[in-house]
Amino acid sequence: MASFEVIGGRTLHGEIIPQGAKNEALQILCAVLLTAEPVIISNVPNIRDVNKLIELLRDMGVDVEQTAPDTYVFKAEDVNLDYLSSDKFVEQARAIRGSVMILGPMLARYGVAKLPKPGGDKIGRRRLDTHFEAFEKLGAKFTYDASDSFYHLEGKNLKGTYMLLDEASVTGTANIVMAAVLAEGITTIYNAACEPYLQQLCKMLNRMGAKISGIGSNLLIIEGVEKLGGTEHRMLPDMIEIGSFIGLAGMTGSEITIKNAQIRELGLIPDTFRRLGIKMEFHGDDIFIPAQEQYEIDTYIDGSILTVSDHTWPGFTPDLLSIALVVATQAKGTVLIHQKMFESRLFFVDKLIDMGAQIILCDPHRATVIGQNRQVPLRGISMTSPDIRAGVALLIAALSAEGRSVIHNIEQIDRGYQNIDGRLNALGAQITRI
């Protein structure tokens, strides 16, 4: 198990380019299964989860050619359905949660799909009912084998229908859209997720010949087509990385420019960090964060304590609540962090308390952070990363702390952040992989 040794207390300076979006990549890569023609995808992040999905596609029979460090050509002309019954497929599919999104394309194109219960971060219950209930509405037969935790789908003649999703699931919406584009007739999806990454998927599918309208809203209308063709697609920069860098700059008192951040696609992320006191300027699509000796948490109009909570898009993404929480520990003021979606995502605050943070964990979903206004800096400790986002939050805490910190289980961080130690060291950080 690899670790980071971090010497904190250093201010950073310079420019950083965000990687391609992990959460978009997992959708887009699965969509290549919908056509036998070449699909060229660029700005692909070199991170563990994405690389594992590319390996899975290759082993399923997809021809994969890497033409540049961030560019691949995929051609799913001869997918091996028998591979879905192999032990290696089970091992690969269970290793990444994004593998669940191969179900929609496989069902649409081949009329059959199967998958073991996927893995992913241990951040609480993440049910898949929305996916399978929608597949059944399209006419698929769904069975679940509890003896080996395997999902099975069969449906040779999917037919469009109306559906109202019980939750605006991003992966669920993506899976349903990919199944519906080849279904006969019209599919209407209400309460659909409308994140920028889902919009990117829909736009890519339309370039492949799909007929999807309502993109960007929570009401998608899909007119099924007989087949899809190839296309080229460039992924957005990762909004979670961008938010992490904003938080890092504010907490370490650093001057950082985030290049080509595609600001119009960031939703409430900049405004939320501004409410935590972090100043920033927009220069075209670049975000400039000046060095600040202090930053102060906003209050509501009546002076009451600010609440920062997660919500479905266009609300604040749950993936950045851990960053917001860490940033608040050294701000002036108090904030309530309310994690609504996952009941285990705040279970890293004990490590921050050990570092000297003033945090009250009210329950699994809420934490009150009393900022110390840089009067009592965090101190370095040894800790373990529980998941991707908490791991980076702890890394930011360690970079701001006095002394030496060691973060174990950094494989979790590598799943979502490309060469994070090398890129931050180029800005002046002192992070050693041990």
- Residues identified as active-site: 121
As a residue count, the chain comes to 434
Phi, psi of 426 (to 5 degrees): -65, -20
Contact predicate 195/216, CB 8 Å: no
Please tell me the distance from the alpha carbon of residue 339 to that of residue 316, in angstroms, as a whole number.
10
Task: Find residue 222's DSSP bridge partners.
Answer: 187, 212
From its phi and psi, is residue 337 left (phi > 0), alpha (psi between -120 and 50) or beta? beta
Task: Please choose, from the candidates 29, 32, 28, 4, the residue with its C-alpha nearest in 3D space to the C-alpha of residue 230.
Answer: 32
Phi, psi of 71 (to 5 degrees): -130, 135
| Whether residue 18 has a cis bond before it, omega within 30° of 0 | no
Q: What would the two tokens of residue 372 be?
A: 């110390």
Q: Which residue intervals of 233-380 are DSSP H helices? A: 239-252, 269-275, 321-328, 349-354
Contact predicate 35/208, CB 8 Å: yes
Contact predicate 100/131, CB 8 Å: yes
Amino acid present at 3: S
